[in-house]
Amino acid sequence: MSGDLKQLQHKLHIQFQDRQLLKQAFTHASYVNEHRFNQHSDNERLEFLGDAVLELTVSEFLYRLFPDRPEGELTKLRAAIVCEPSLVKFAENLEFGHYVLLGKGEELTGGRTRPALLADVFESFIGALYLDQGLDSVKAFLERYVFPKLELGGKMQITDYKTELQELTQHHNLGVLEYRIVEERGPAHEREFVSEVYMEGRSLGRGTGRSKKEAEQQAAAVALRELSSIEQ
């Protein structure tokens, strides 16, 4: 059973002007599929927008926080913050899973705690907040609930295969990378994505994951192994 979004707004000290936008952010596609007659909208478009807004706001945060760090380090730090495991932790800390509207099948199979779903909901909320109140409100939210929880000190051990692959191909001037989702399989609550990474039209690697981002990371890992001979 989903929680009351009024309660969530009170807890976050945020009042949405467009409450339907907030509801959409917490509406999973499985719920829409079971309630078509009510003309609900799922959160997938908001997730797309929220992903871009997070990239921008986190980039600015790191740019200001570390004025002396090079672009490569900032890229890796950003990747560690906006990756799925981190977004899941943010969503769990805020108990976002409690407020999601799910279809019965998704509910019964534990969708409320599924990592990919929680990461998507966090991005959707960011997208909704941006549309409702603008970039400054998104920054204020992140500064209050997300940035203080980041562990940015020391030597972060980051496994970001996509960034490593990008750096390798740029360093050797090998060509432009392109990621494609070539297959989606399984039911909604156990969706698996297959991604393939191409360089100049040639396939370098294929990977699978429970989210598109995870599949792309796995594809990049395969491609790195294929190209490892370059650095020998």
Whether 134 and 175 share a structural domain: no
For 2-24, what is each residue's pLDDT tens digit? 568 999 999 999 999 999 999 99
In the listed set 149, 184, 215, which residue is the last one of a domain according to the structure?
Answer: 149
Whether 31 and 138 share a structural domain: yes
Judge whether 4 counts as a catalytic residue. Answer: no
In the listed set 116, 149, 182, which residue is the last one of a domain according to the structure?
Answer: 149
Residue 165: inside a domain = yes
Catalytic residue chosen out of the listed positions 51, 107, 120, 196: 51
Say how far apart CA 58 and CA 169 lie, in whole Å.
25
**CATH at 221:** 3.30.160.20
Judge whether 123 counts as a catalytic residue. Answer: yes
Whether 200 and 175 share a structural domain: yes
Whole-prediction pTM: 0.68
Strand order of the sheet with strand 192-199?
177-185, 192-199, 202-209
Whether 145 and 165 share a structural domain: no
For 80-88, what is the mean pLDDT? 87
Which of 122-126, 155-159, 178-182 has the lowest average pLDDT?
155-159
Residue 156: inside a domain = no
For 23-39, what is each residue's pLDDT tens digit? 999 999 888 877 776 66
Give the total number of structural domains in the chain: 2
Query: How far out from the chain centre does Cα 169 lie?
Result: 24
Q: Which domain holds residue 108?
A: 5-149
DSSP 163-217: HHHHHHHHHTT---EEEEEEEEES-GGG-EEEEEEEETTEEEEEEEESSHHHHHH
Looking at the predicted structure, is the pLDDT value of residue 104 above 60? yes
For 138-147, what is each residue's pLDDT tens digit? 999 999 999 8
Catalytic residue chosen out of the listed positions 123, 132, 160, 196: 123
3-state secondary structure 25-63: HCECHHHHHHCHHHCCCCCHHHHHHHHHHHHHHHHHHHH
